[in-house]
Amino acid sequence: MNNKILVTKSSMPELEEYVDEISSLWDSCWLTNMGPKHQKFQKKLCEYMETQNIELLVNGHMALELTLQAMNLQGEVITTPFTFASTTHAIVRNGLKPVFCDIDPVTYCMDVNKLEGLITDSTCAIMPVHVYGNICNVEEIERIAQKYELKVIYDAAHSFGEKYKGKSIAQFGDASCFSFHATKVFNSIEGGAVCFKDGVLGEKLYDLKNFGIHGPEEVAEVGANAKMNEFCAAMGICNLRHIEEEIEKRRIIVERYREKLDSIEGLILNINQKEVKSNYAYFPVIFEEKIFGASREEIFKKLAQNGIGARKYFYPLTNTFECFHGSYNVMETPVALHISKRVLTLPLFAELDLKEVDRICDIIIECKC
């Protein structure tokens, strides 16, 4: 009974499938620098994500960071603090100033009603996050961005494989940045990608991920080393073959969680967004202590005592990080603060047994008083 359950578990293909995919590397001895696996993975992703333009990167963070660099931005970027460190860091590491917009209490994504009020003469871009795979209000963000001529770069790290109104999530904004980290719905061990509208951006990204080298004797940009290697691309190729089954397994697990927890007072479960084909990336629950009777911290501890790893995701907010000490005022994002103090994401991965889901839910329900 007391087997440990982690909050996530990486999806992997059968060993034979991966070995088969990488065996040609022993003939070519071409291990990185945009080799055949890189090209094949890129092509397969273009088909899957219904886009012409995709650049592969070493991870999701460099996707964000180099996209901002490729756009040559200056000034302020409006984003949210209810995200992984990566989003805010990508902005700051580009010498840009993050301006924090509060989040919507239902989707946990940027509250578009508060967006326009934050725009100044210095604003150059908006970087919203499709938190937990919940899709931002893309229509309103696009309307505002057009009105003020701002770039839109989505942190789409949680939204791989999703569609909104039948349209691939890769097609929104000027660019969408994905993470293929081992803990995500879809992984290439480590990896990332940018999907984008303007082909020129792709050429820039291609150079930037390879030290800014533009030709044999020309270094045109101060680039980084952010190339995806052949072993990671091969893992991505294999995992992509099974992605729809993986998402379907996640759906069944999420439905079980819902069934068990839906009627419990004081718990707020993640919404089912209409018109979204979800990837069931996370199962966040908000614990309203006054109604439920137990706090997020108590539930977190109780689960840990039972060998169950839930995650305070996202806590703390990025605008309260030690490294930004004194730079931002967390009181400007009260909804994000409220949610981050009460949220737990529960274990969710394709191979999670439904009996374990029941056990997790029973432990939570037992805490209710």
Ligand X SMILES: *Cc1c(COP(=O)(O)O)cnc(C)c1O
Binding site for ligand X (CB under 6 A): 59-61, 83-84, 86-87, 129, 155, 157-158, 179, 181, 192
Q: How far is the CB of 218 from ligand X (least distance, A)?
A: 29
Q: Virtual CA dihedral for 162, 240, 314, 116, nearest 10 degrees? A: -40
**Residue number with CB closer to ligand X (158 or 204):** 158
Query: CB under 8 Å to 206, separation ≥6 — which residues?
Result: 55
Measured in degrees and rounded to the nearest 5, phi and psi for residue 274 equal -65, 150
Q: How far is the CB of 94 from ligand X (least distance, A)?
A: 15
For residue 220, count other CB atoms closer than 10 A to its CB.
12
**Residue number with CB closer to ligand X (186 or 287):** 186
Q: How far is the CB of 363 from ligand X (least distance, A)?
A: 26
Mark out the alpha helices in the chain (DSSP H runs): 15-22, 25-28, 36-49, 60-70, 85-93, 138-148, 199-208, 230-241, 243-261, 289-292, 296-305, 334-342, 354-366
Q: How far is the CB of 129 from ligand X (least distance, A)?
A: 5
Reported as half-sphere exposure (CB side, CA atoms, 13 A), residue 51 has a value of 26
**Residue number with CB closer to ligand X (170 or 267):** 170
Q: How far is the CB of 339 from ligand X (least distance, A)?
A: 15
Q: How far is the CB of 156 from ligand X (least distance, A)?
A: 9
**Residue number with CB closer to ligand X (158 or 163):** 158
**Residue number with CB closer to ligand X (53 or 176):** 176
Q: Which strands, in side-by-side order, build the sheet including 97-100? A: 54-57, 192-196, 175-179, 151-155, 123-126, 76-79, 97-100
Q: Is 181 exposed, middle or buried (0-12, 13-18, 19+ CB in 10 A)?
A: buried
**Residue number with CB closer to ligand X (148 or 324):** 324
Nearest residue to ligand X, scored by beta-carbon proximity: 60
Tokens of 44: 């397969």
